[in-house]
Amino acid sequence: MTQSLTITRPDDWHLHLRDGAMLHAVLPETTRHFGRAIIMPNLVPPVVTAAQAAAYRDRIMEAMPKGAAFEPLMTLYLTEDTDPNDLAAAHASGLITSVKLYPAGATTNSASGVSNFENVRHILDRMAEIGCPLCVHGEVTDPAIDIFDREAVFIDRVLDPIRQATPGLRVVMEHITTKDGVDYVKANDQDLGATITTHHLIINRNHILVGGIKPHYYCLPVAKRESHRLALRAAATSGDARFFLGTDSAPHLDALKETACGCAGCFTATNTMSLLAHVFEEDSALDHLEAFTSLNGPSFYGLPTNPDTITLTKGGPVAFPAKLATPDGEVTVFDPGFPVHWHVT
């Protein structure tokens, strides 16, 4: 049995770093293992212009741990008032790698997102023209739609019409959580990819609700039925180049998670690579781990793979910290609920 595995240094194609004290606390947890990450723009206020993206990148670089070789890949937050010329200039200069679409009200800090998709049609056309990918939070916000059905309905009502109307637009379905999402990607072999999170490969909705509400497993999109989790596992471990890692690691202070209206998000930056090695070994797919974490994402985005490697070694149980300290309070590190034996060395 494999006891050691060396792979190209991975990337995280969906990451929340926040800002200020939280940024300084969580950034080292990503730079330890990852070469690059797509940085989410849903700050308060959101990152909607090139100037704001440049300023945020500067703050990330200032917070970089000494000796870290990490590249933040910046994004713009799509609004109905986004200036296509500003977006195009930011992309042409290399300042931004993609643009993020949040349906208004879909998740944390998404109030400034898109309500009327017709109002961004001209922006999407420009993005298709210049080859700028669109990263999509794929859920409808219609209160009549059950929360467990919002991803499937989004595909039918929003995503497929957008792609039909804007041929050539490269789209990443971020943090897919359903078999519907997997099947849609598999049925479309051009200009479409999908990220899958670490936690959605491990938990289903029972983990959140059975035996009492578990706030640190609550995330958006919310975890679904076991059949959907298994579909995600099959996709992630298949080696299919259209599926790649986006942790959606989302730090929130414990005080904001453990409350009557708790924030959505799982903080997985600390232990993702060990957890993924466990998952891929369980599914007899360790030979596909590198594709999922290190090769498929760069291929979709047209970027080179990282020049260096990391090594995972199997041994005694890994002792992950339960909490990450920040100046404002603690953040709980995602607990998979089982011992993990893969160490990143």
Instruction: Tell me which residues are annotated as active site.
Output: 248
Contact 331, 251 (CB under 8 A): yes
Can you tell me the distance from the alpha carbon of 129 to that of 121, in angstroms, rounded to the nearest whole number? 12
Let me know: does 311 contact 4? Beta carbons within 8 Å. Answer: yes
SS3 69: coil
Q: Which of 56, 48, 163, 151 is nearest to 103 (CA)?
A: 151
Sequence letter at residue 58: D
Structure tokens at 25: 């606390």
Residue 283: Cβ within 10 Å count: 16
Q: Rounded distance, CA 170 to CA 160, Å?
A: 12
Which of these, 309, 249, 316, 314, lies nearest to 286 by C-alpha position?
Answer: 314
Those residues with Cβ within 8 angstroms of residue 106's Cβ, 6 or more apart along the chain or in another chain = 113, 137, 139, 141, 220
**For helices 84-92 and 121-130, what crossing angle results, to 10°?**
20
Among candidates 332, 157, 138, which has minimal Cα distance to 220? 138
Burial (CB count <10 Å: 0-12, 13-18, 19+), residue 206: middle
Buried b (16+ CB within 10 A) or exposed e, 233-266: bebbbbbbebbbbbbbbbbbbbebbeeeebbbbb
